[in-house]
Amino acid sequence: MTRKVKALLVFCEGPHDVAFVRRVLKHCLGFTKVEWKFSEFPAPFNSLFKTNVERHAAQDLSLDMAHKFFLPDRVLRREDVIALVFNSGGKTKRQTIVDFLSGFLSLFEHAAVFPDRADAIVTQARFLFLYDADDLGVEKIREDVKADFGSIDDKPWLVDGWQIDAADPAGAIAGDKALYVWSGKSGQGTLEDILMPVLRKSEPKLSAHAESQLETLFTWETEHERRTRSIAERTKKHKATITLAGQREKPGMSMSVILDQTQVLKDDILAMDTRVASFARYLASFIDVGPQVDKN
Protein backbone atom coordinates (compact mmCIF):
# COMPACT_ATOMS: atom_id res chain seq x y z
CA MET A 1 0.00 0.00 0.00
CA THR A 2 1.34 3.42 -0.96
CA ARG A 3 2.06 5.63 2.05
CA LYS A 4 1.12 9.29 2.19
CA VAL A 5 3.79 11.70 3.43
CA LYS A 6 4.21 15.42 3.89
CA ALA A 7 7.17 17.37 2.56
CA LEU A 8 8.89 20.51 3.77
CA LEU A 9 11.11 22.16 1.18
CA VAL A 10 13.56 24.57 2.80
CA PHE A 11 15.41 27.04 0.57
CA CYS A 12 18.53 28.45 2.24
CA GLU A 13 20.87 31.18 1.04
CA GLY A 14 24.05 29.23 1.71
CA PRO A 15 25.79 26.31 3.44
CA HIS A 16 25.79 27.97 6.87
CA ASP A 17 21.99 28.11 6.85
CA VAL A 18 21.82 24.49 5.71
CA ALA A 19 24.03 23.36 8.60
CA PHE A 20 22.05 25.40 11.13
CA VAL A 21 18.65 24.21 9.91
CA ARG A 22 19.81 20.60 10.01
CA ARG A 23 20.78 20.99 13.65
CA VAL A 24 17.49 22.65 14.56
CA LEU A 25 15.50 19.93 12.82
CA LYS A 26 17.52 17.21 14.54
CA HIS A 27 18.11 18.55 18.03
CA CYS A 28 15.03 20.71 18.53
CA LEU A 29 12.37 18.89 16.51
CA GLY A 30 13.48 15.26 16.57
CA PHE A 31 14.16 14.70 12.87
CA THR A 32 16.74 12.13 11.78
CA LYS A 33 18.97 12.04 8.73
CA VAL A 34 18.10 9.84 5.77
CA GLU A 35 20.23 8.89 2.79
CA TRP A 36 18.01 7.63 0.01
CA LYS A 37 18.66 6.65 -3.54
CA PHE A 38 16.51 8.54 -6.06
CA SER A 39 14.17 5.56 -6.35
CA GLU A 40 13.62 5.54 -2.58
CA PHE A 41 12.26 9.08 -2.42
CA PRO A 42 8.50 9.53 -2.31
CA ALA A 43 6.83 10.65 -5.52
CA PRO A 44 7.31 13.07 -7.19
CA PHE A 45 10.87 13.52 -5.89
CA ASN A 46 11.89 10.06 -7.11
CA SER A 47 11.35 11.04 -10.74
CA LEU A 48 12.13 14.76 -10.34
CA PHE A 49 15.68 14.30 -9.06
CA LYS A 50 16.44 11.59 -11.59
CA THR A 51 15.15 13.75 -14.45
CA ASN A 52 17.07 16.84 -13.28
CA VAL A 53 20.35 14.95 -13.06
CA GLU A 54 19.86 13.32 -16.45
CA ARG A 55 18.96 16.63 -18.07
CA HIS A 56 21.99 18.44 -16.68
CA ALA A 57 24.33 15.52 -17.29
CA ALA A 58 23.45 15.83 -20.98
CA GLN A 59 24.72 19.41 -20.97
CA ASP A 60 28.25 20.79 -20.75
CA LEU A 61 28.51 20.82 -16.96
CA SER A 62 30.54 23.28 -14.96
CA LEU A 63 31.24 23.05 -11.25
CA ASP A 64 28.83 25.78 -10.23
CA MET A 65 25.97 25.96 -7.82
CA ALA A 66 23.26 26.05 -10.48
CA HIS A 67 23.65 22.37 -11.26
CA LYS A 68 24.17 21.17 -7.71
CA PHE A 69 21.10 22.99 -6.44
CA PHE A 70 18.68 20.63 -8.06
CA LEU A 71 19.42 18.10 -5.32
CA PRO A 72 18.88 18.80 -1.61
CA ASP A 73 21.96 19.21 0.58
CA ARG A 74 20.24 17.48 3.51
CA VAL A 75 17.22 15.21 3.84
CA LEU A 76 15.70 14.49 7.24
CA ARG A 77 12.61 12.66 8.38
CA ARG A 78 10.26 12.50 11.32
CA GLU A 79 7.49 9.93 11.00
CA ASP A 80 5.43 10.97 7.93
CA VAL A 81 7.19 14.32 7.41
CA ILE A 82 10.32 14.66 5.28
CA ALA A 83 12.38 17.83 5.17
CA LEU A 84 14.53 18.62 2.15
CA VAL A 85 17.04 21.40 2.76
CA PHE A 86 18.49 23.16 -0.30
CA ASN A 87 21.36 25.59 -0.73
CA SER A 88 20.13 28.09 -3.32
CA GLY A 89 23.33 30.12 -3.51
CA GLY A 90 22.08 33.49 -2.24
CA LYS A 91 19.59 36.26 -2.94
CA THR A 92 20.78 36.65 -6.53
CA LYS A 93 19.94 33.01 -7.32
CA ARG A 94 16.19 33.19 -6.77
CA GLN A 95 15.50 32.31 -10.39
CA THR A 96 17.12 28.95 -9.69
CA ILE A 97 14.47 28.29 -7.06
CA VAL A 98 11.74 29.36 -9.48
CA ASP A 99 13.06 26.92 -12.07
CA PHE A 100 13.16 24.11 -9.52
CA LEU A 101 9.64 24.84 -8.31
CA SER A 102 8.42 24.83 -11.89
CA GLY A 103 9.58 21.24 -12.30
CA PHE A 104 8.37 20.12 -8.88
CA LEU A 105 4.90 21.63 -9.07
CA SER A 106 4.18 20.19 -12.50
CA LEU A 107 4.93 16.69 -11.18
CA PHE A 108 3.36 17.21 -7.77
CA GLU A 109 -0.06 17.74 -9.35
CA HIS A 110 0.03 14.22 -10.82
CA ALA A 111 2.13 12.34 -8.26
CA ALA A 112 -0.80 10.26 -7.02
CA VAL A 113 -1.65 9.18 -10.58
CA PHE A 114 1.92 8.63 -11.79
CA PRO A 115 4.02 7.65 -8.74
CA ASP A 116 6.70 5.98 -10.91
CA ARG A 117 6.88 2.87 -8.68
CA ALA A 118 7.36 4.90 -5.48
CA ASP A 119 6.07 3.28 -2.28
CA ALA A 120 5.21 6.70 -0.83
CA ILE A 121 3.59 9.82 -2.27
CA VAL A 122 3.87 13.43 -1.13
CA THR A 123 0.29 14.54 -0.61
CA GLN A 124 1.09 17.82 1.12
CA ALA A 125 4.02 20.15 0.44
CA ARG A 126 5.07 23.25 2.35
CA PHE A 127 7.76 25.71 1.39
CA LEU A 128 10.08 27.66 3.69
CA PHE A 129 12.34 30.47 2.50
CA LEU A 130 15.25 31.59 4.68
CA TYR A 131 17.09 34.86 4.06
CA ASP A 132 19.38 37.25 5.88
CA ALA A 133 17.93 40.69 6.51
CA ASP A 134 21.35 42.28 5.82
CA ASP A 135 20.89 46.06 5.72
CA LEU A 136 17.53 45.76 3.93
CA GLY A 137 15.41 44.85 6.93
CA VAL A 138 12.77 42.20 7.41
CA GLU A 139 9.92 43.99 5.67
CA LYS A 140 11.93 44.61 2.49
CA ILE A 141 12.88 40.94 2.30
CA ARG A 142 9.21 40.00 2.58
CA GLU A 143 8.33 42.34 -0.26
CA ASP A 144 11.11 40.98 -2.46
CA VAL A 145 10.22 37.34 -1.84
CA LYS A 146 6.55 38.05 -2.58
CA ALA A 147 7.52 39.72 -5.86
CA ASP A 148 10.00 37.03 -6.91
CA PHE A 149 7.73 34.07 -6.18
CA GLY A 150 4.35 35.59 -6.87
CA SER A 151 3.93 33.36 -9.89
CA ILE A 152 5.46 30.14 -11.20
CA ASP A 153 5.08 29.34 -14.92
CA ASP A 154 2.79 32.37 -15.25
CA LYS A 155 0.42 30.88 -12.67
CA PRO A 156 -0.26 32.63 -9.33
CA TRP A 157 1.73 30.98 -6.57
CA LEU A 158 2.73 33.10 -3.56
CA VAL A 159 -0.49 35.11 -3.52
CA ASP A 160 -1.67 35.14 0.09
CA GLY A 161 -0.65 38.04 2.29
CA TRP A 162 2.05 37.50 4.90
CA GLN A 163 0.70 36.69 8.33
CA ILE A 164 3.43 37.78 10.73
CA ASP A 165 4.09 35.39 13.59
CA ALA A 166 2.69 36.94 16.75
CA ALA A 167 5.48 35.57 18.94
CA ASP A 168 8.36 36.17 16.52
CA PRO A 169 8.21 39.00 13.95
CA ALA A 170 11.08 37.43 12.01
CA GLY A 171 8.68 34.76 10.81
CA ALA A 172 5.68 35.03 8.51
CA ILE A 173 3.37 32.55 6.83
CA ALA A 174 1.27 32.80 3.68
CA GLY A 175 -0.79 29.63 3.33
CA ASP A 176 1.60 26.77 2.61
CA LYS A 177 4.56 29.14 2.15
CA ALA A 178 6.66 30.61 4.94
CA LEU A 179 9.52 33.07 5.27
CA TYR A 180 11.91 33.50 8.15
CA VAL A 181 14.44 36.33 8.10
CA TRP A 182 17.67 36.08 10.08
CA SER A 183 18.67 39.34 11.76
CA GLY A 184 20.04 40.99 14.84
CA LYS A 185 17.82 42.66 17.42
CA SER A 186 17.57 45.76 15.22
CA GLY A 187 15.80 43.84 12.46
CA GLN A 188 18.90 44.00 10.29
CA GLY A 189 21.84 41.63 10.11
CA THR A 190 22.34 37.95 9.39
CA LEU A 191 22.21 34.42 10.79
CA GLU A 192 25.59 35.07 12.44
CA ASP A 193 23.85 37.54 14.79
CA ILE A 194 21.91 34.56 16.13
CA LEU A 195 24.86 32.16 16.20
CA MET A 196 27.37 34.36 18.04
CA PRO A 197 25.46 34.50 21.35
CA VAL A 198 25.24 30.69 21.23
CA LEU A 199 29.00 30.43 20.70
CA ARG A 200 29.70 32.84 23.57
CA LYS A 201 27.52 30.80 25.92
CA SER A 202 28.91 27.48 24.68
CA GLU A 203 32.58 28.44 24.82
CA PRO A 204 33.01 31.70 26.78
CA LYS A 205 36.80 31.67 27.04
CA LEU A 206 37.42 30.27 23.57
CA SER A 207 35.10 32.75 21.87
CA ALA A 208 36.57 35.67 23.82
CA HIS A 209 40.12 34.68 22.84
CA ALA A 210 39.09 34.17 19.21
CA GLU A 211 37.45 37.60 19.02
CA SER A 212 40.42 39.22 20.73
CA GLN A 213 42.91 37.63 18.34
CA LEU A 214 40.90 38.66 15.28
CA GLU A 215 40.71 42.24 16.54
CA THR A 216 44.48 42.23 16.96
CA LEU A 217 45.18 40.76 13.54
CA PHE A 218 42.69 42.69 11.42
CA THR A 219 40.75 45.92 11.23
CA TRP A 220 36.98 45.50 11.30
CA GLU A 221 34.86 48.46 10.31
CA THR A 222 31.88 47.40 12.38
CA GLU A 223 31.14 51.03 13.28
CA HIS A 224 31.41 52.35 9.73
CA GLU A 225 29.16 55.30 8.96
CA ARG A 226 27.58 53.40 6.07
CA ARG A 227 25.12 50.91 7.48
CA THR A 228 25.66 48.45 4.64
CA ARG A 229 29.39 48.35 5.35
CA SER A 230 29.07 48.09 9.13
CA ILE A 231 26.62 45.17 8.92
CA ALA A 232 28.77 43.37 6.35
CA GLU A 233 31.89 43.86 8.49
CA ARG A 234 30.14 42.60 11.62
CA THR A 235 28.99 39.51 9.72
CA LYS A 236 32.51 38.84 8.43
CA LYS A 237 33.93 39.15 11.92
CA HIS A 238 31.32 36.78 13.36
CA LYS A 239 32.02 34.22 10.62
CA ALA A 240 35.75 34.46 11.25
CA THR A 241 35.25 34.03 15.00
CA ILE A 242 33.09 30.91 14.66
CA THR A 243 35.47 29.45 12.09
CA LEU A 244 38.54 30.15 14.24
CA ALA A 245 36.89 28.69 17.34
CA GLY A 246 36.37 25.39 15.53
CA GLN A 247 39.86 25.00 14.13
CA ARG A 248 41.09 22.72 16.92
CA GLU A 249 38.42 20.15 16.10
CA LYS A 250 38.33 20.68 12.34
CA PRO A 251 41.60 22.36 11.26
CA GLY A 252 41.37 24.08 7.92
CA MET A 253 37.61 23.60 7.65
CA SER A 254 34.97 26.19 6.75
CA MET A 255 32.34 27.68 9.03
CA SER A 256 29.63 25.42 7.61
CA VAL A 257 31.68 22.36 8.59
CA ILE A 258 32.27 23.83 12.06
CA LEU A 259 28.53 24.33 12.51
CA ASP A 260 27.63 20.93 11.14
CA GLN A 261 30.29 18.66 12.60
CA THR A 262 31.54 20.11 15.88
CA GLN A 263 30.19 20.98 19.31
CA VAL A 264 31.70 24.47 19.37
CA LEU A 265 28.05 25.50 19.46
CA LYS A 266 26.79 22.95 21.95
CA ASP A 267 23.51 21.17 21.19
CA ASP A 268 21.86 21.86 24.55
CA ILE A 269 22.78 25.54 24.56
CA LEU A 270 21.72 25.90 20.93
CA ALA A 271 18.32 24.35 21.68
CA MET A 272 17.77 26.52 24.77
CA ASP A 273 18.81 29.79 23.16
CA THR A 274 15.84 32.17 23.01
CA ARG A 275 16.20 33.05 19.32
CA VAL A 276 16.85 29.47 18.24
CA ALA A 277 13.96 28.13 20.31
CA SER A 278 11.69 30.76 18.79
CA PHE A 279 12.63 29.68 15.27
CA ALA A 280 12.12 26.02 16.21
CA ARG A 281 8.67 26.76 17.62
CA TYR A 282 7.72 28.72 14.49
CA LEU A 283 8.94 25.89 12.27
CA ALA A 284 7.11 23.23 14.31
CA SER A 285 3.90 25.23 14.06
CA PHE A 286 4.27 25.68 10.32
CA ILE A 287 4.76 21.98 9.57
CA ASP A 288 2.39 20.88 12.34
CA VAL A 289 4.65 18.63 14.39
CA GLY A 290 4.45 18.21 18.13
CA PRO A 291 7.18 18.25 20.80
CA GLN A 292 10.48 16.57 20.02
CA VAL A 293 10.51 12.80 20.05
CA ASP A 294 13.49 11.37 21.91
CA LYS A 295 15.42 9.23 19.38
CA ASN A 296 17.97 7.90 21.87
Residues 260, 264, 268, 269: is their CA dihedral positive or negative?
negative
Mean pLDDT of the region 269-291: 93
> Across-strand partners of 199?
none
Q: 202-233, pLDDT tens digit by residue?
A: 999 999 999 999 999 999 998 898 989 999 99
Query: Which CATH number is correct for 3-186+270-287, 1.10.357.10, 3.40.50.720, 3.40.50.10620, 3.40.190.10?
Result: 3.40.50.10620
pLDDT digits (tens, 9 = 90+) for 170-186: 999 999 999 999 999 88
Length of the chain: 296
What is the structure's pLDDT at 295? Answer: 46
Residue 110 is predicted with a pLDDT of 78
Say what the pLDDT of residue 31 is: 97
User: Is 50 exceeded by the pLDDT of residue 94?
Assistant: yes
Does residue 169 have a cis bond before it (omega within 30 degrees)?
A: no
* Count of beta carbons in the 10 Å neighbourhood of residue 81: 19
Domain range summary for the chain, segments of one domain joined by +: 3-186+270-287, 192-265
Dist CA 72 CA 205 (whole Å): 36
Give pLDDT tens digits for 14-66: 999 999 999 999 999 999 999 998 889 999 998 888 887 777 665 555 555 55
The confidence score (pLDDT) of residue 125 equals: 96
Q: How confident is the model at residue 68 (pLDDT cuts 50, 70, 90)?
A: low
- pTM of this structure: 0.92
In this predicted structure, the answer to whether residue 260 has a pLDDT above a threshold of 90 is yes
Mean pLDDT calculated for residue range 154-170:
95
| Choice between 296 and 195, residue whose per-residue pLDDT is larger | 195
pLDDT at 254 over 80: yes
pLDDT number for residue 139: 96
Find the range with the poorest average confidence among 61-75, 153-167, 272-286. Answer: 61-75
Range with lowest mean pLDDT among 55-59, 62-66, 122-126, 250-254: 62-66
